[in-house]
A and B are shown apart, each in its own frame.
Chain A
């Protein structure tokens, strides 16, 4: 079956513009995570969705960042008024439950010029 799919794979945008990053999780996975990875660094937690529960947004770095998950499936991470420090790889992961191992997509590499 298909794995976690993220689009676009690369995005270059100008400072101040808004961007939308998309994640298609594995079918049937109720848990969905967004992480951010700067070059050569570990993963920084952003947000977590579990079923119909309220998302855990505690990792979002500012109010310019928001995410939605429609119908318990596809998720969109939106960054408004992008800044150069937003440049990173944004990774999406899904799992059967909170305690199950994560399945990652290949990420979206965002470059803000």
Chain B
């Protein structure tokens, strides 16, 4: 099955609430990245966390990485309607994976005003 699987597949919350999305993967990684995709657009890079890092912050985003559990989470605090999008994790397994970032299936986040 696919490296980088997000859950939940879909999440609907009210504006102001926090949103948490999870990503699990199967092999060792060099880094893990989170991307956002608005409907009909390309993906936009949000944050990169290296395998030797446990937590990283960027504005309202908080990413954690647990390499022992092969999992990561993306927390969006104080969500806004404009955060509505699909969120993907992508894993970089280094040279052993060739050249590719492997993307998960994504979590569709809906923030209701």
- Residues of chain B from 83 to 113 with CB closer than 8 A to chain A in the complex: 88, 92, 98-106
Q: How many A-B residue pairs have CB under 8 A?
A: 55
For the side of the interface on B, what is the size category?
20 to 34
| Interfacial chain B residues near A56, Cβ < 8 Å | 98-100
The verdict on A42 contacting B99 (CB below 8 Å), with A93-B42, A99-B30, A103-B45 known, is: no
Please state if B2 and A42 are interface contacts (CB–CB under 8 Å).
yes
Q: Does B103 contact A98, Cβ atoms closer than 8 Å?
A: no
Residue of A nearest to B105 (CB): A42
Grouping DSSP codes into helix (H, G, I), strand (E, B) and loop, the B interface class, with mixed when no group exceeds half, is: loop
Q: How far is the CB of B46 from chain A (nearest CB, A)?
A: 9
Q: Does B59 contact A (CB under 8 A)?
A: no
Interface residue B81 (Cβ < 8 Å from any Cβ of A):
no
User: Which residues of chain A are within 8 angstroms of B43 by Cβ–Cβ distance?
Assistant: 43, 91, 93, 102, 104
Q: Are A43 and B44 in contact (CB under 8 A)?
A: no
Q: What is the CB-to-nearest-CB distance from B93 to chain A, in angstroms, rounded to a whole number? A: 12
Residues of A near B103 (CB, < 8 A) are: 35, 42-43
Instruction: Give B18-70 interface residues, CB cut-off 8 Å to A.
Output: 30-31, 33, 35, 40-45, 48
Least CB distance from A49 to B in Å reads 9
* B42 near A106: Cβ-Cβ < 8 Å: yes
Task: Scan A74-113; emit 1 where CB is below 8 A from any B CB, else 0.
Answer: 0000000000000000010100001101111111000000
Residue ranges of A at the interface with B (Cβ–Cβ < 8 Å): 4, 31, 33, 35, 41-43, 45, 48, 50, 56, 58-59, 91, 93, 98-99, 101-107
